Structure 1
Amino acid sequence: MHPGGWTVVRTWTPEGYHRSYLARALALLAYMFSGFVAIMLFTRCDVLVAATPPVTVGMLGGLAARLKRVPLVYEIRDLWVQAAAELGIVRSRLLLGVVRAWERSLYRQAQVIVVNSPGFLPHLQTDGIESEKVVLVPNGVDTALFHPAADGSGIRRQHRLEGKFVAAYAGSLGLANDITTILRAADRLRGESDIRILLVGDGNRRRQAEDEARALGLTNVIFTGRVPKQVVAQYLCAADVGICTLMDTPVFRTVYPNKVFDTMACARPVVILVDGVIREVVEQARAGICVRPGDASGLADALLRLRSDPDGRRRMGEAGRRTVAERFDRWQSAKQMAALLGRVTARRRQRAAQGG
């Protein structure tokens, strides 16, 4: 039992799931089995929340909610099926069709659908989901953990970054993240001896990215590997600016990437190479520079511009921090979610008392 009054039941999944799509698929199947056992044997609940991606978690949640006869709250954190199709991860039209049909059945089963980005709303409307059933609880950031006061001096010493202008990408190094564009920008900046780019994280494209950096002869890029979440804030505060890249596909125009909010919370300007709803947030907040997705030259130019404008960096960083504190604080989202679950639970108990 956690001191906060909730119990964590840890289920088994194989390690190394981030290394390949096959390993990830096996891990998802393992979690479906171990999670189902844990839910059915070790938990009692008034409502069941299934957060996706992956869609297999939604499948597990939907089945368990039916068997336990409790309402399902279906939380959509990414349009995973569409992303898999657009990126070519899943090419079978039959498989995609089956998964989409199951996804729509989960939409119908859910008493409430929670989305963390307004970009998902048109998708649900296309599937015929009434707006009254959908609640927006925006993605956000722990503004106490990701704070400008986080000490990045040790990171700068560790990576010999004293006196350097540092740009940091902190997140997954996968197919969707378009790390190649960052490396091509670094190639264009190789003559700027005071600029360094930190790639903080791991993923199934990390080895490929390292090979690409070696092939280009890049000495201005540092791969840190996976670091604990608590340390990511120190890396961001060690940097002068953050970077967010995603592949230029329609599905990524719908998302609120965590790394953008993390950077803003640390009062650092962010250069984003993503169109859509997150670009609107950054532009409205005046918290960074927006570059066309895949534009390595644009990214390099943006970093040069920010390097030469410390006052502009400070203004953008402060504006970003204010915006996340007011609109995207994770604790406010948690309170909103808790109130939602309270309402769902109260309705269930009321119906039970009425014999419904």
Structure 2
Amino acid sequence: MRIAYLHGGSVPSVYANGVHVMRMCDAFADAGHHIELYAVPGTVRTGDLHAYYGTRNRFPVHTVPLGTAPGLGPLVRARRVRDGVRRGTVPDVVYGRDPHALLAAAGTAPVVYETHLLWTDRVVRGVERLLLRHRGLRRIVFVSQALADDYRAAFPRLAARRDVDWVTASDCADPVAAGGPVAALPGRPGALKVGYVGHLYPGRGTDVIRELARLLPAADFHLVGGTPEDLAHWQDRCRGENVFFHGHRPPSSLHPYYRAFDVVLAPYQRKVACAGGIGDISRWVSPMKLFEYMAHGRAIVASDLPVLREVLTDGENCLLCPPGDVAAWAEAVGRLSADPALRRALGETARRELTTRYTWRARADRVLAGLPGHAPAAAAGRP
């Protein structure tokens, strides 16, 4: 199958949406499909885009900048993306997360629209409504069941369309082989190493980690990620000797950090900002770092939010705590510190569930299943 993936964000970048898109394109290529990605030019300087993300396949990436006309940039870019898609061999499917470009290209091939949030911007919402009514739309992929439920309520006419499939597919991770290099972390050799990987936007729980470090002075806390502005903000507020900020790292270089951690945190709050620190995706979030934690068999402490319970089960593959109850978080981390066997059991269960249910390759098969030209996994050749 020939797939044109239309992404409205930039690659390479420091943002999770770029990681998600590159992982999905890699999985499509693993499945034997010809994939071409259309994205906005990157905001991170790197000599090799595929090395930066650590992809196995070197699929074509076409960068199409935003137009310069005030207020019309996404629309101008959408037409340029459409023209680029039509210039070569016509794809079998147009797939993506960019409603502007998907709408512009909707007459080219069947459309699969993936969404991770309910748009609040009036212009984008209007473009999305046109896309959802277009006869070329064949499938919508939701990153969580909570998001699918909210779309069903927001777009009752869409829910009534019998020619549009609804698929829920959470974020994922690639399985990780045992062994491999381990990051040499600063701090005390005998201290429990508590890790967090991700952005430092509002609602991501950095304030919870700061308080945990104060309550648990025997543990060392390591935070990997964050823009320079967010790093400066939090480094000024976390001056404890047991808190270490490692800044942004290329996605391909994160494995040694995961391996170095004894316990990992996903302290999402009841309001969670998305890329750029704006909006609120707490009802629908499907954090990739959570699945990366699972892939590495780490013991997870996470916020007890309904959307995270779509994947997590307290006492089986993680420990869940009320988002803002720092005392409960301190108790959970202390419990894991005192019980290495529990850490291993939670991590092993999480790794097993990731391998059997939440791989990028399985997701790629799921979102394409039943579309013309899609071969089942066994025929496509699972790596």
Does TM-score exceed 0.5, indicating one fold?
A: yes
- Among 41, 44, 54, the alignment partner of 1:13 is 41
- Cα distance in 2 for partners of 1:209, 1:303 equals 21
Post-superposition shift, 1:61?
Answer: 1.6
* Counterpart AA for 2:214: D
**2:136 pairs with 1:136:** no
TM-score, structure 2 normalization: 0.70
**2:117 pairs with 1:79:** yes
- Cα distance in 2 for partners of 1:40, 1:266 equals 42
> Within 5 Å, which residues of 2 pair with 1:211-290?
211-213=236-238, 217-249=239-271, 251-283=281-313, 286-290=316-320
Alignment RMSD, CA only?
A: 3.0
- Among 172, 175, 179, the alignment partner of 2:202 is 175
1:63-92, Cα deviation, whole Å (9 max, x unpaired): 2224x3x2221011x21535xxxxxxxxxx
* Counterpart AA for 2:318: G
- Cα distance in 2 for partners of 1:290, 1:134 equals 29
Post-superposition shift, 1:281?
Answer: 2.3
- Cα distance in 1 for partners of 2:236, 2:315 equals 37
Structure 1's 40 and 176: CA in aligned 2 closer, same or farther, altered over 3 A?
Answer: farther
- Cα distance in 1 for partners of 2:365, 2:334 equals 41
- Cα distance in 2 for partners of 1:5, 1:74 equals 18
* Identity over aligned pairs, percent: 25
**2:132 pairs with 1:104:** no
Structure 1's 72 and 8: CA in aligned 2 closer, same or farther, altered over 3 A?
Answer: closer
- Matching residue of 1:54: none
Post-superposition shift, 1:151?
Answer: 2.9
* Counterpart AA for 2:139: V
- Matching residue of 1:196: 220
Post-superposition shift, 1:338?
Answer: 3.9
- Matching residue of 1:22: none
Q: Which runs of 5+ in 1 are unaligned?
A: 18-26, 52-56, 83-95, 346-356
* Counterpart AA for 2:349: A
Post-superposition shift, 1:234?
Answer: 1.6
Q: Which has the higher strand share?
A: 2
Post-superposition shift, 1:166?
Answer: 0.8
> Within 5 Å, which residues of 2 pair with 1:57-76?
57-66=98-107, 68=108, 70-76=109-115
1:133-171, Cα deviation, whole Å (9 max, x unpaired): 21123321111xx3443432xx1x342453221111111
**2:80 pairs with 1:37:** yes
Structure 1's 259 and 212: CA in aligned 2 closer, same or farther, altered over 3 A?
Answer: same
- Cα distance in 2 for partners of 1:312, 1:116 equals 30
1:22-67, Cα deviation, whole Å (9 max, x unpaired): xxxxx8767845564244134432321122xxxxx2122212224x
Post-superposition shift, 1:15?
Answer: 2.1
* Counterpart AA for 1:135: V
Structure 1's 49 and 176: CA in aligned 2 closer, same or farther, altered over 3 A?
Answer: farther
* Counterpart AA for 1:138: S
Post-superposition shift, 1:229?
Answer: 1.6
Post-superposition shift, 1:306?
Answer: 0.6
**2:156 pairs with 1:115:** no
* Counterpart AA for 2:102: G
CA contact (8 A) 2:317 2:346 kept: yes
